[in-house]
Amino acid sequence: MDGADEFMKYRSPLVSRYASKEMAYNFSDRKKFTTWRKLWIYLAKAEKSLGLPITEAQIQEMESHQKDIDFAMAAEEERKLRHDVMAHVHTFAHCCPTAAPIIHLGATSCYVGDNTDLIVLRDGFDILLPKLARVIDRLANFAETYADLPTLGFTHYQPAQLTTVGKRACLWLQDLTMDIRNLQRARDDLRFRGVKGTTGTQASFLQLFQGDHDKVEELDRLVTEMASFQKSYLVTGQTYSRKVDVDCLSSLASLGATVHKVSCRSWRHIEISRSLSRRTKSRHSANATCRPTLARHLVALIADPLQTASVQWLERTLDDSANRRISLAESFLTADIILSTLQNISEGLVVYPKVIERHIRQELPFMATENIIMAVVKAGGNRQDCHEKIRVLSQEAAAVVKQEGGDNDLLARVQKDPYFAPILGQLDAILEPKTFIGRAPQQVARFLSEEVRPLLEPYRSKMDVKIELEL
């Protein structure tokens, strides 16, 4: 095909523009169909070991042609047969004439289809988990660095009691640590469909082994082991339960919610940005834009597997195949790019302490009024009188801020009022921001040491990988 023809049809931006090469390959036709051939080889090896008349020469022939797929022939066979699995059986048999009689022996389409999906899901998690670990690591380092840097807290999007930059990063980290546990659990909970037959009863394999139940069970175990799964599902219909897809994509949708929350819109409120060279600014703009919007897409994708699972009636319905080709791939591809961009951004975060300090100065006098009142009382003043003085001065200062657009001058008004003369020497100490952050630095230290760092240990060997995005 002329290369220009590629621009005459829709191309998914998840692959052409965003996702990593490894995740794009994980959902590629080559990965899918070479895995089908691996599964046919596993089946033949297991059947041979259990006494079926399959020769070593047949297996070697299959192994020697496992990767050389004639995609044009497969497409032509599918056009004629109207069946993708049988099209690839015929294509494989064409280059393996000796093994042709035993390819797919006793199996149904879901033997290759569903088992391949489970392998791809597992491999997809294996791509995502180190990326998520690296994001957590970068943000943990950031949180540790700024554990005691005061910044305005916000509740209901309004300025509130001070926190620290590091403590706020830990709020993001807490969600991300929940996500990595969820992804790891979903990955580890995956089982293999194995060899279950047309409706899950293994009837065809029981017939092949002349009623020997033990051999059928051993066949299932052997193929499961060859595919590097610890267990297979003990009961299936024609397919594995689509609740499995719900479980996997739920963990990804939850990750999407986290990443959407950890967006540049919220970072602006604590004066954090990414350090950029002139050359990479346009790339960063695209990164910052695609991360929250794709995260929203990832959250929305969970509706597909939920509906598919709800209508998987009896042993199999025919309304899941097309949907799953889209929703499974898009969920992992989307999760892949948002983690890559989040890592890329988190590796270049810059904090502007002076800007943060200015924002604190605008709000802190209002927050410090109770401390000022207590200091006056300790100096011999009356609490009610002091409270009224502070109330009047606060309203005057608020009017300057809200009606005139000026700076908060409450502190200057307090300093000018003779009533507060006994405590003027204490004002700097009273208004020291670090006296308003409570145990935030201690919470950061304990959280990182007890909950975050231990989660990252399994990924230490992959922690130094940098992300280079090409958008």
| Same domain flag for 254 and 312 | yes
Alpha carbons within 13 A on the beta-carbon side of 110: 23
- Domain end call among 95, 130, 153: 95
Task: Give kind and range of the element (H or E) at residue 226.
Answer: helix 213-226
Condensed to tens digits (0 to 9), the pLDDT of residues 228-259 reads 999 999 999 999 999 999 999 999 999 999 99
Average pLDDT over residues 331-346: 94
Amino acid 103: pLDDT: 97
| Same domain flag for 363 and 379 | yes
Cβ–Cβ < 8 Å for 17, 283: no
CA distances from 76 to 28, 216, 227 (A): 19, 35, 30
Cross-strand bridge partners of residue 273: 350
Straight-line distance from the first to the last Cα atom of the chain, in angstroms, rounded to the nearest whole number: 25
| Same domain flag for 156 and 237 | yes
In a domain, 101, yes or no: no
DSSP track, 186-201: HHHH--B--S--SSSS
| Same domain flag for 188 and 152 | yes
In a domain, 442, yes or no: no
- CATH code where residue 213 lies: 1.20.200.10
Query: Residue 313 corresponds to which amino acid?
Result: W
Mean residue pLDDT of the chain comes to 90
Question: What SS3 string covers 294-335?
Answer: HHHHHHHCCHHHHHHHHCCCCCCCCCCHHHHHHHHHHHHHHH
| Same domain flag for 160 and 36 | no
| Same domain flag for 46 and 71 | yes
pLDDT confidence tier of residue 9, bands split at 50, 70 and 90:
confident
User: Cα(343)–Cα(139) distance, rounded to whole angstroms?
Assistant: 9
Condensed to tens digits (0 to 9), the pLDDT of residues 153-179 reads 888 878 888 999 999 999 999 999 999
Q: Which two tokens stand for residue 115?
A: 């088992």
| Same domain flag for 159 and 210 | yes
| Same domain flag for 129 and 154 | yes
Q: For 301-451, where are the alpha helices, taking DSSP H only?
A: 303-310, 321-346, 353-367, 369-378, 383-404, 410-416, 427-430, 440-447
Q: Is the pLDDT of residue 277 over 60?
A: no
In a domain, 103, yes or no: no
Question: Is-above-0.85 flag for pTM?
Answer: yes
| Same domain flag for 328 and 417 | no
In a domain, 46, yes or no: yes
| Same domain flag for 208 and 316 | yes
In a domain, 5, yes or no: no
In a domain, 303, yes or no: yes
Amino acid 361: pLDDT: 84
Q: Which domain holds residue 404?
A: 355-435
- CATH code where residue 383 lies: 1.10.40.30
Condensed to tens digits (0 to 9), the pLDDT of residues 80-115 reads 999 999 999 999 999 999 999 999 999 999 999 999
Q: How many domains does the chain have?
A: 3
| Same domain flag for 243 and 347 | yes
Average pLDDT over residues 108-132: 97
Condensed to tens digits (0 to 9), the pLDDT of residues 10-35 reads 888 888 888 899 999 999 999 999 99
Query: CB-based burial of residue 173 (10 Å sphere; 0-12 exposed, 13-18 middle, 19+ buried)?
Result: buried
DSSP track, 226-273: HTT-S-B-S--SSS--THHHHHHHHHHHHHHHHHHHSSHHHHGGGTEE
In a domain, 145, yes or no: yes
Average pLDDT over residues 295-306: 94
| Same domain flag for 403 and 347 | no
